[in-house]
Structure 1
Amino acid sequence: MKIKSLLILALIAVATASGLSAQNTTSPYSKFGYGLLRDNATSAQRQMGGVGYAMRSGRQVNVMNPAAYAGMDSLTFLFDMGTDVSLFWRKDNTGSNHDWGGGLDYVTMQFPVGKIVGVSAGLLPYSSVGYSFGSEITNGVSTHQGTGGLNQLYIGAGVMPLKNLSVGVNISYLFGTIYNDVYASQTGSTTQSLFEQVMEVKDYHLQFGLQYTYRISRKNALTLGVTYSPSKSLLGKTYVLKYHDTSTGAPIRLLREWLSCVTSSLFLKHGAQVLPMTGTTVCRRKSM
């Protein structure tokens, strides 16, 4: 069938040119780190509250545990595509508000390779960023805005080497861009300053999985599932920009620095200032 219709038109043109991270997330909590981390699950797992490490079915794609790929028969091909709709309520000392968010969520597929091997591939959101709020400062107002997120393009395989025992692995390519902006305006002045951080991430991620099924009776079975992901830093680049907008409306670039960084999962440091990104960072400053 022409390689399953060219792998479903290359996963719907890589999920409409990587539009997964642009899901209109509206949460102030996404300001920190890489944003709101997603659950790596499809609708089959979410309808059970996100339970999926031990889920094993020949009719559902389970990306949460790659060992589950081996639990399908040799005549099955699965394709799953989902959307997400969210409603956020916010309340602070200025009042309450609600925002809608959502968009294309994931695109996955799964197919057998022989009797004991199953393969899956797809595109999933890893994190999403979206917020906008303001606060008063001395003689002025600051506005915080953020957009973007990280996606993961994965391919995985599961094999059943022994009866009732399955093992698997997912290899993911993480990519995406996160924008964090701070606007500062002075009371009684038309001058506005912008401090912008742009973090680009391009790196790989590994996940290993195992499932063991104990047959209780002819109709009932108990499955134990575990996963493991090796700890590693994420490779990325961080652009730090400062702009000053004069009363003429023409933005004047004051400073642009390009930091080639390896980030981990704590805080991203620029000089002595801790910035609202993640990663205890090893950076090499490059001239522009």
Structure 2
Amino acid sequence: MNKKNIFIRAIIVLIFAGSLNAQVKNSIYSMFGVGQLSDNSFGINKSLGGTGIAFQSGRSINYLNPASYLGILPNSFNMELGAYGIYSKSENANTSQADGDIKFSYFSAGYYCTVWWALSFGIVPFSSVDYVVNSNDEVGGELTSFEKKFTGTGGLNRVYVGNSFNIFEGLSVGFNASYIFGHITQTETASSSGSFSGYELKNERSAQSLYLDYGIQYSVTNNHWLYTIGVTYGASKKLNTTDDLEFIYNGETNPLEQDEQLNIKIPQKLGFGISVKKGNNFRAGSDYELGKWSTINFSYPNLDTKNSNRFSVGIEYSSGE
């Protein structure tokens, strides 16, 4: 029996955000639905511009396509741990605000079981909510203005178990079975001004659901070059959500009831990728991914959503083995 190799990688990716015109700590888009969706690319994918749908796993785990797990090196067990840092600066004509943070990104492990089966498991972020928006409003019937602040924190995580199977030479299929869960806190705060005593409206939202996504990879070899195409798919999915609303006024906290629970959905997504590889020295690839956001209703009458399109290209070259 061959001795098993263990590869442990800790990958730290620092992402710096530049100056913003609005007073938003992270992303204004995280106000809606489940928040800002994570790109789910691991360290090796980030170094290739987020590309990976047609790349096979090796010493690194390629989470972007579950069919890739079959590329994990034989008789090996891989583990990866990632973290990221964010620095943001928000400013306008009168004031500026700087924020920074370092957070856990992901943990993943992969195991080569047999020539026809490999698996991966771990926990990865699914979405994040992190924003601060300031505005001004007036008390009806009075000449009193007051400041309002909208804040949001939290996000969702995904625990997954993925499997990859060899159907015949060159063709592999795979799927990730995931449990999505987490909490989001959104608060609207009005400061006291004159005869207006202010208030706070707080919503604690929890969400959870099972989720499946799928992948296919097909490879052919010609003159020492490996050519691969990959396809990924994830269906639209409604999350099970629970909202806990509170209204705080004059020091008193009053629970509120919603007439109708908001429907929060994950959009349908479809990805396609191509790649070429020669030995262990060179590989290049390109991805396209479509997110069907136009079919998602956020229950905001003035909000019109469009489909998202992601393009990426990555090239890797090393002079030695």
CA–CA distance in 2 between the matches of 1:112 and 1:260? 44
Equivalent residue letter for 2:190: A
Deviation at 1:190, TM superposition (A): 7.3
Select the structure that is richer in strand: 2
Query: Are the aligned partners of 2:189 and 2:201 in contact in 1 as well (CA < 8 Å)?
Result: yes
Counterpart of 1:186 in 2: which secondary structure? coil
CA–CA distance in 2 between the matches of 1:148 and 1:197? 12
Give yes or no for the alignment of 1:231 onto 2:232. Answer: no
Partner in structure 2 of residue 60 of structure 1: 60
Partner in structure 2 of residue 83 of structure 1: 83
CA–CA distance in 2 between the matches of 1:177 and 1:78? 30
CA–CA distance in 1 between the matches of 2:297 and 2:188? 18
For 1:132-171, what aligned pairs fall within 5 Å after superposition? Answer: 132-138=132-138, 139-171=145-177
5+ long unaligned stretches in structure 1? 9-24, 279-288
Deviation at 1:65, TM superposition (A): 0.4
Q: 1:275 to 1:180 in 2, by over 3 A?
A: farther
Counterpart of 2:41 in 1: which secondary structure? coil
For 1:99-118, what aligned pairs fall within 5 Å after superposition? Answer: 99-118=99-118
Query: Are the aligned partners of 1:26 and 1:100 in contact in 2 as well (CA < 8 Å)?
Result: no
Equivalent residue letter for 1:52: G
Partner in structure 1 of residue 247 of structure 2: 242
Partner in structure 2 of residue 204 of structure 1: 210
Deviation at 1:230, TM superposition (A): 1.5
CA–CA distance in 2 between the matches of 1:214 and 1:114? 21
Counterpart of 2:191 in 1: which secondary structure? strand
Give yes or no for the alignment of 1:192 onto 2:198. Answer: yes
Deviation at 1:41, TM superposition (A): 1.3
Deviation at 1:261, TM superposition (A): 5.5
CA–CA distance in 1 between the matches of 2:116 and 2:171? 11
Partner in structure 1 of residue 220 of structure 2: 214
CA–CA distance in 2 between the matches of 1:35 and 1:56? 30
Counterpart of 1:159 in 2: which secondary structure? strand
CA–CA distance in 2 between the matches of 1:262 and 1:132? 24
Give yes or no for the alignment of 1:180 onto 2:181. Answer: no
Spell out, residue by residue over 1:208-258, the C-alpha distance to the aligned partner (whole angstroms, 9 max, x if none): 00011121322x2121111001122111112222111x2xxxx31233226
Equivalent residue letter for 1:82: G
What TM-score do the two structures reach when normalised by structure 1?
Answer: 0.78
Deviation at 1:176, TM superposition (A): 0.2
Deviation at 1:130, TM superposition (A): 1.2
Counterpart of 2:49 in 1: which secondary structure? coil
CA–CA distance in 2 between the matches of 1:92 and 1:31? 20
Query: Are the aligned partners of 1:268 and 1:275 in contact in 2 as well (CA < 8 Å)?
Result: no
Give the aligned CA root-mean-square deviation in angstroms. Answer: 2.5
Partner in structure 2 of residue 285 of structure 1: none
Partner in structure 2 of residue 263 of structure 1: 264
Query: Are the aligned partners of 1:40 and 1:126 in contact in 2 as well (CA < 8 Å)?
Result: yes
Partner in structure 2 of residue 286 of structure 1: none
For 1:41-60, what aligned pairs fall within 5 Å after superposition? Answer: 41-60=41-60
Query: Are the aligned partners of 1:73 and 1:115 in contact in 2 as well (CA < 8 Å)?
Result: no
Equivalent residue letter for 1:43: G
CA–CA distance in 1 between the matches of 2:91 and 2:222? 50
Deviation at 1:118, TM superposition (A): 0.6
Equivalent residue letter for 1:149: G
Equivalent residue letter for 2:242: K
Counterpart of 2:257 in 1: which secondary structure? strand
Select the structure that is richer in helix: 1
Query: Are the aligned partners of 2:30 and 2:130 in contact in 1 as well (CA < 8 Å)?
Result: yes
Partner in structure 2 of residue 12 of structure 1: none
Partner in structure 1 of residue 15 of structure 2: none
Query: Are the aligned partners of 1:42 and 1:61 in contact in 2 as well (CA < 8 Å)?
Result: yes
Aligned length: 246
